[in-house]
Amino acid sequence: MFGKNNIAKVTEEIQRLYLKDKKPWIIGYSGGKDSTVTMQLVYIAISKLPKSKRNKDIWAICSDTLVEIPTVMERVDNTLDRLNRYSLEIEMPFSGHKVSPKVDESFFVNLIGRGYPAPTRTFRWCTDRMKIQPSSEFIIDKVSHYGEVIIILGSRKKESMSRAQTMANYEIKGTILRRHATLQGAFVYSPIEDWETDDVWEYLATEESPWGDNNLGLVKLYRKAGGDECPIVVDTTTPSCGNSRFGCWVCTVVEQDKCIQGFIKSGESWLQPMVNFRDLIKDMRERRDEYRIPDSSRIGGYGAFTLDARKNILRELLRTDKAVYEIYKQRLIKSEELWAIQELWKFDGDREKSVQKIYQKVYKHTKSVTKKPLEVIHKRKEEELYLLDLCEEYEVGYDLLSRLLFIEKDLTKMRRRTGLYQRFDREISSAVEAQ
């Protein structure tokens, strides 16, 4: 049964592990109940050590996919802010960080810019790009600097049989650590692995947050959502989101997002336009004849969304963004993403700066879409000048060459470069026909 004795035991275990070696720690924090309890347990345990022994860094990382439910991400931001300020006050080697996908890998750049169909259970292109890669890059950076790290997760064996089996497969005999499934030099520790769900709730209800969070506020958030959190994902063995969970508001892997529906039923009606947009892209994904490009090289015979379909999606997204911002003052898409989408559309034949036009029409002003930082623009300009010189020297069309290079670069990130030569052929044929 859960109680003070169990807390004392876990505290001692955390302290022993911390003092055992020089491996720094990385805590996976999602904003949900399990990760909150885990981070709080670790923080309190280390704060009880003498300052002279708090000599290893601890980083709490939260994976912000850029499409998280705004109310959940607001709580995460507040938590990380309080955590960082309090850690400075008491001289704790503890800091909170958000990791996010690069603009080029964001959900909307892939969906609207490249035309990727909305994710399904069999084509879940989002998890690796938006969750695993940003977290893994942070971990790899620390491993390269320190040699080895320990990752602290709020994983529990009682969550499911599959979770228990996965955790058992990577156990290191004689220790409380597990091997990381994919990252060399990374080990995993789960201080609440044997806890029941009731233990987690009891802890949150009875133990105060050391950095001043309102744990009862988290309980209320769960009651509103009627669901569970989306876990911090650091490898492919971590189950992705599904059913009721705190996670991406655009998720089309599930039939219905019970979490966000719970928020709406609890009075958060401003979320309804986001649900409508999510349903729209899910519906468009299934209407292949109308919205997707025929592609004989793919199973099912259909590939990306057409350019016209992507324009419609962007228009509806910006309308949704406008509606949400009027009430919640939260943007759903960054200006950098809009710029990246426009760049991608150029290579699909859009010469009218359609992103700019759609943006200005929806918001009824003439504001320009923000471009990339100057250093990136300068670098791109140098590359373009070099390409222009080569094209002039060898009498090759610049537009065609730049499009071919773009296609090749775009597919370098894919494990299988299916359709590369077909896309080359289409571009060359279009150029010949134009002449």
Give the mean pLDDT of 112-122.
88
Please indicate whether residue 46 or residue 413 has the higher confidence score (pLDDT). 46
pLDDT for residue 18: 97
Span 223-250, pLDDT tens digits: 887 655 444 444 444 444 433 457 799 9
Arithmetic mean of pLDDT over the chain: 83
Domain finish residue from 222, 246, 269: 222
Is the predicted pLDDT of residue 435 greater than 70, yes or no? Answer: no
Most confident of 108-112, 130-134, 255-259, 265-269: 108-112
Percentage of the chain modeled with pLDDT above 70: 76
Q: Quick one: pLDDT at residue 38? A: 97
Q: Please state the rounded mean pLDDT for residues 383-400.
A: 61
pLDDT band for position 348 (cuts 50, 70, 90)? confident
Higher-confidence residue of 365 and 79: namely: 79
Q: Report pLDDT for 409.
A: 65
pLDDT tens profile 205-230: 889 999 999 888 888 888 887 655 44
Q: What is the mean pLDDT of residues 159-165?
A: 60
Residue 43 has pLDDT above 90, yes or no: yes
Of 166, 201, 222, the domain-final residue: 222
3-state SS track over the chain: CCCHHHHHHHHHHHHHHHHHCCCCEEEECCCCHHHHHHHHHHHHHHHCCCHHHCCCCEEEEEECCCCECHHHHHHHHHHHHHHHHHHHHHCCCEEEEEECCCHHHCHHHHHHHCCCCCCCCCCCCHHHHHHHHHHHHHHHHHHHHHCCEEEECCCCHHHCHHHHHHHHHCECCCCCCEECCCCCCEEEECCCCCCCHHHHHHHHHHCCCCCCCCHHHHHHHHHHHCCEECCCCCCCCCCCCCCCEECECCCCCCCCCHHHHHHHHCCCHHHHHHHHHHHHHHHHHHCHHHHEEECCCCCCCEEEECHHHHHHHHHHHHHHHHHHHHHHCCCCCCHHHHHHHHHHHHCCCCCCCHHHHHHHHHHCCCCCCCCCCHHHHHHHHHHHHHHHHHHHHHCCCHHHHHHHHHHHHHHCCCCCCCCHHHHHHHHHHHHHHHC
What is the Cα–Cα distance from 4 to 156, expressed in whole angstroms?
19
Has residue 32 been placed in a domain? yes
Asked if residue 23 belongs to a domain, the reply is yes
- 44: pLDDT confidence band, cut at 50, 70 and 90? very high
pLDDT band at 396 (very low <50, low <70, confident <90, very high): low
pLDDT digits (tens, 9 = 90+) for 137-156: 999 999 999 999 999 999 88
* CA 196 remoteness from chain centre: 28
User: Averaging pLDDT over each range in 127-136, 149-158, 310-319, which range is the top one?
Assistant: 310-319
Report the domain count for the chain.
Answer: 2
Return the pLDDT at 217.
86
For the segment 180-197, what is each residue's pLDDT rounded down to a tens digit? 877 889 999 999 999 998
**Where a domain ends, among 205, 222, 239?**
222
Model pLDDT, residue 422: 72
80, pLDDT greater than 60: yes
Instruction: Average the pLDDT over 30-40 and give the result.
Output: 94
Predicted pLDDT at 377: 41
Q: What is residue 222's predicted lDDT score, i.e. its pLDDT?
A: 85
Range of the structural domain that residue 381 is part of: 369-399
Residue 97: give its domain's CATH number: 3.40.50.620
Residue 393, in any domain of the structure: yes
CB atoms within 10 A of CB 25: 22
Please write the tens of the pLDDT for every residue from 272-297.
999 999 999 999 999 989 999 887 66
Average pLDDT, stretch 157-171? 62
What mean pLDDT comes out for the span 49-72? 94
Is residue 316 one of the residues assigned to a domain? no
Rounded average pLDDT over 51-56: 94
411 located within any domain: no
Tell whether 49 is covered by a domain: yes
Evaluate whether residue 82 is within a structural domain. yes
- The answer to whether residue 387 is domain-embedded is yes
Six-digit token pair at 15? 């302290």
Instruction: Report the pLDDT value the prediction gives residue 8, as an integer from 0 to 100.
Output: 92
Q: How far is CA 375 from CA 101, 278, 334, 379, in A?
A: 20, 35, 19, 6
